[in-house]
Amino acid sequence: MGGLLGGGGRSLQSALDTDAPRAAAETAVASSIFVIIMRVSLSGIKGSPTRGARLAQLGKAPGRFPRAAGLFNARHHLGLRASGALRLAPGSCAERGDLRCYSAGNGLESVRVRFAPSPTGNLHVGGARTALYNYLYAQQKAKSGSSAFVLRVEDTDKARSTRESEEAVLRDLTWLGLNWDEGPLRQSERGDLYKQRAQELLDKGLAYKCFCTDEEITAMKEKAAEEGKPPVYSGRWASASEGEVEEMIQRGEPYAVRFRVPQDELVTIQDAIRGEVTWNTNTLGDFIIMRSDGSPVYNFCVAVDDADMSITEVVRAEEHLPNTLRQVLIYNALGIEPPKFAHCSLILAPDRSKLSKRHGATSVGEFKEEGYLSEALMNYLALLGWNDGTEQEIFSKDELIDKFSLERITKSAAVFDKQKLNWMNSQYIRQMEPAELERRLTDLWVEKGVLVPAEAQGEATGAIMKKVVEIFQEALITLNQSVDELETLLHFPLEETLASSKAKKCIEGGFFDVAKYVVDSYFESGELKELVETEPENFKAYIKKVGKELGIKGKNLFLPVRICMTGCMQGPDVGDQVFLVKTAEACVTSDALVSFEERMEVLRQVVEKSRQVVNC
């Protein structure tokens, strides 16, 4: 470090301590600062704390050295911040260029995190978990200081990005309850900023214009492959003269902007999840930050945006870990202290392959459509790679905010277990207040087209929804299951049931005696018809009367009555089913509905056929 900054540092010390005239001292200070800044910018190594303090002192004392202060205040254009771009770890080898990024820390309580989806499809559960972790972290830090959860849309891929996908992602985040504080900020609307930052790097000599054609780049890659080397850029235009560059520009040749990567340096980050991670810059080569068409490259956008938005922590999937080397180099070249990093493990399928469509639903929107609760999905996603150190599995949002920490995120990959999600969703449904479940099911049924619209709903709607919750709440796994369960009850598969081998014993035990009684009490005496139309909830009294008059009880009574009324040998309470069917006639629009009148007509025909068989 002394060799790197020694000359400028000694001059700075001399200027600060000199008794020379003010103008001469100011000139010496300004020159010394410039030397230090450029050496730091080009090397990427931070000066000593005392020297940084002296620079900061100059910046705060414009009255003493106005020219020096002006130069200091323009430090972000020259690649240096008073706090330093990167910190040297104790015992590190400065002579080699061992760059260590241990923290973002601006010394304040403020925490700023971001979720940055690409609007090229639906919100995958992996992305949703990343958003959730950022949200929980920001909400937790907000309790002891200030924080912000920023939503940034990385839509620079013009060919694949769509506004429809962006809107879908925003809907899914809102449905999950992950409300952002700032944004959405779109990269497609920030092109001028990227060009400005690229020009700053060009002006400092930390980037250069590259006129290589696609054919030349391909040839370089093929040669590297033949030699068993990484496909790094050979650096042909890295050392071109100003005259050579100007000649190409005058000829109108297109060019990309490449970042000048320092050679044989170790770049180290302290990842909150993975610990210390180190790369050697020799594996990289000079990389493009602006394409020949003027569009910025992903890693450049990310670093510029994180800096511009003052992001303090970057929490993202481990698949972005390789990008971190490029981004840290860009942060450093721009004189910006990198944020802290936390790279979360991937979410795998049960067969430990990458979770994909072949494993079923993988997007938040799909799980919503399948009838999962947003709070259950949030709870489940939180546990895919994190736990609070206890056996607790059901967490409210407030509990997650209180207990979440980056340190408790595991390094190992998480496995998405649909059965575990089903169990968790069923627990949330069971614990839900009945009135809330009624409301959600009502909305769902209207959406699915099995219930009349809100404006046509009356007492019957409230009655049937209350009964549905009473019958099914303990058994539901998803909200959609309620539609399936309802339509099962609305069917009347009488003939199929009687034709099955399982019904043989019931038929031989006197089924048709009960069936004839039911038919007569509906079509002749009208007793059953009046009961169903006026007091369907009192059906149990009717069953007792049937048993008393026919002299039967127990299974020989209840099973035949069940089959007569429902067409099935099993299911919820028969009286509840009769109530549901009769009430559904006023408000359910499902094609599965077989009215009570239609049921009795089918039963009468079955009884008549049995009589004909007996007479034969």
Sign of CA dihedral 577, 580, 582, 584: negative
Which 3 state secondary structure label does DSSP give 22?
A: helix
What are the two backbone dihedrals, phi and then psi, of residue 303, each rounded to the nearest 5 degrees? -65, -45
DSSP state, residue 423: H
Q: Is the peptide bond before 453 cis (omega within 30 degrees of 0)?
A: no
Of how many residues is the chain composed?
A: 616
| Alpha-carbon distance values, 137 to 16, 110, 170, 315, 447 (Å) | 45, 12, 19, 9, 35
C-alpha 195/C-alpha 200 separation (Å) is 9
C-alpha 230/C-alpha 219 separation (Å) is 13
Q: How many CB atoms lie within 10 A of CB 203?
A: 11
Residue 111 bridge partners (DSSP): 147
357: annotated active-site residue: yes
DSSP state, residue 337: P
Q: DSSP letter string over 70-98?
A: HHHHTHHHHT--TT-SS-PPTT--TTTTE
Which 3 state secondary structure label does DSSP give 281?
A: helix
What are the two backbone dihedrals, phi and then psi, of residue 106, each rounded to the nearest 5 degrees? -100, 10
Q: Taking a C-beta distance cutoff of 8 angstroms, is the pair 567, 462 a contact? A: no
What are the two backbone dihedrals, phi and then psi, of residue 593, each rounded to the nearest 5 degrees? -70, 120
Q: Taking a C-beta distance cutoff of 8 angstroms, is the pair 107, 81 a contact? A: no
C-alpha 313/C-alpha 342 separation (Å) is 8
Residues 6+ apart with CB under 8 A from 6: none
Q: How many CB atoms lie within 10 A of CB 157?
A: 14
Cα radius of gyration rounded to whole Å, the chain: 36
What is the token pair recorded at 302? 């990310």
What is the token pair recorded at 182? 């700032």
DSSP state, residue 146: -
Torsion angle defined by CA atoms of residues 514, 516, 519 and 523, in that order, rounded to the nearest 10 degrees = -140
Torsion angle defined by CA atoms of residues 234, 237, 240 and 245, in that order, rounded to the nearest 10 degrees = 170
C-alpha 88/C-alpha 199 separation (Å) is 28
Q: Taking a C-beta distance cutoff of 8 angstroms, is the pair 444, 482 a contact? A: yes
Which 3 state secondary structure label does DSSP give 19?
A: coil
Residue 272 bridge partners (DSSP): none
Q: Taking a C-beta distance cutoff of 8 angstroms, is the pair 588, 594 a contact? A: no
Please compute, for residue 252, the number of CA atoms within 13 A of its CA located in the half-sphere on the CB side.
0
Q: Taking a C-beta distance cutoff of 8 angstroms, is the pair 342, 271 a contact? A: yes
Catalytic residue, from 143, 223, 340, 357: name it. Answer: 357
Long-range contacts, stretch 595-599, CB < 8 angstroms, 24+ apart: 596/532, 598/492, 599/492, 599/494, 599/565, 599/567
Residues annotated as catalytic are 357
